[in-house]
Homo-oligomer: A and B are copies of this chain.
Amino acid sequence: MTEDRRRSFWAWGWADRLPDDDERRELKARIEGMLGFPERPLLDYPTLEDVSMPTPAIDPPFAFCTTDSRERALHTYGKGYRDLVRGFHGDYTNAPDAVANVETEDDIEDLLAWAADNGVAVVPFGGGTSVVGGVECDGDGYAGVVSLDLREMDAVLEVDDTSRAARIQAGATGPEIQEGLADHGLQLRHYPQSYEFSTFGGWVATRAGGHFATRYTHIDDFVESVRAVTPSGTLETRRLPASGAGPDPNRFLLGSEGAFGVITEGWARVQPRPPYRSRATVRFDDYWDAVAATREIAQARLQPANCRLLNAEEAMLNELAFDGSHLLLLGFESTDATGVPRESLSRALAIAESHGGTWDDATHEDRTADEGSDREGEEGEWRSSFMEAPYMFNALVSMGVLVDTFETAVTWESFPDLHRALEANVGAAMNEQCGAGFLSCRFTHVYEDGPAPYYTLLAPADVGNELEQWRAIKRAASDTLDEHGATITHHHAVGRVHREHYHREAPDGYLDALRSMKRTLDPEDIMNPGALL
Contacts and interface: CB of A to CB of B under 8 A. Distances in A.
A207 interface: yes
Contacts of A188: none
Interface string A438-482: 000000010111111000000000000000000000000000000
Contacts of A343: 337, 339-340, 343
B302 A490 contact: no
Interface stretch (A18-26, A111-119, A405-413): A405-413
Contacts of A411: 160, 162-163, 165, 239-241
A525 interface: no
Contacts of A36: none
Contacts of A224: 449
A452 B255 contact: no
Contacts of A216: 301
Contacts of A299: 164, 271, 335
A510 B271 CA distance: 29
Interface stretch (A68-76, A246-254, A278-286, A323-331): A246-254
Contacts of A122: none
A295 B218 CA distance: 23
Contact of A232 (B246, B449, B512): B512
A494 B249 CA distance: 14
A370 interface: no
A151 interface: no
Nearest to A226: B507
A233 B508 CA distance: 9
Contact of A301 (B302, B336, B409, B494): B336
A452 B516 CA distance: 34
A338 to B, nearest CB: 8
A228 to B, nearest CB: 8
Contacts of A515: 520
Would you call the interface of chain A mostly helix, strand, loop, or mixed? Answer: loop
B509 A513 contact: no
Contact of A244 (B237, B271, B493): B493
Contacts of A336: 300-302, 347, 351
Contacts of A2: none
Contacts of A220: 248
A37 interface: no
A246 B514 contact: yes
Contacts of A351: 336
A409 to B, nearest CB: 5
A337 B302 CA distance: 8
A350 B387 CA distance: 39
Contact of A247 (B255, B334, B512): B255
A242 interface: yes
A519 to B, nearest CB: 7
B516 A245 contact: no
A412 B269 CA distance: 12
How many copies the complex holds: the figure is: 2
Interface string A95-125: 0000000000000000000000000000000
A15 interface: no
Contact of A235 (B162, B164, B236, B510): B510
Interface string A479-515: 0000001111111111000100010011111101111
A256 interface: yes
Contacts of A512: 232, 520-521
A344 interface: yes
A160 B413 contact: yes
Nearest to A487: B243
A517 interface: yes
A230 interface: yes
A248 B492 CA distance: 14
A410 B300 contact: no
A206 interface: yes
A225 B474 CA distance: 27
Interface in A244-274: 244-249, 251-257, 260, 269, 271, 274
Nearest to A411: B163
A162 to B, nearest CB: 4
A245 B489 contact: yes
Contacts of A156: none
Interface of A: 160, 162-165, 206-209, 216, 218, 220, 224, 230, 232-249, 251-257, 260, 269, 271, 274, 295, 299-303, 334-337, 339-340, 343-344, 346-347, 351, 409-414, 445, 447-452, 485-494, 498, 502, 505-510, 512-517, 519-521, 532
Across the A-B interface, the 5 shortest Cβ-Cβ residue pairs: A300-B336, A241-B450, A241-B447, A243-B487, A251-B251
22 contacts: A162-B295, A163-B449, A164-B299, A220-B248, A232-B509, A232-B512, A241-B411, A241-B449, A244-B490, A245-B505, A247-B253, A247-B255, A251-B252, A252-B252, A269-B449, A300-B335, A302-B340, A337-B347, A343-B343, A509-B520, A513-B520, A516-B520
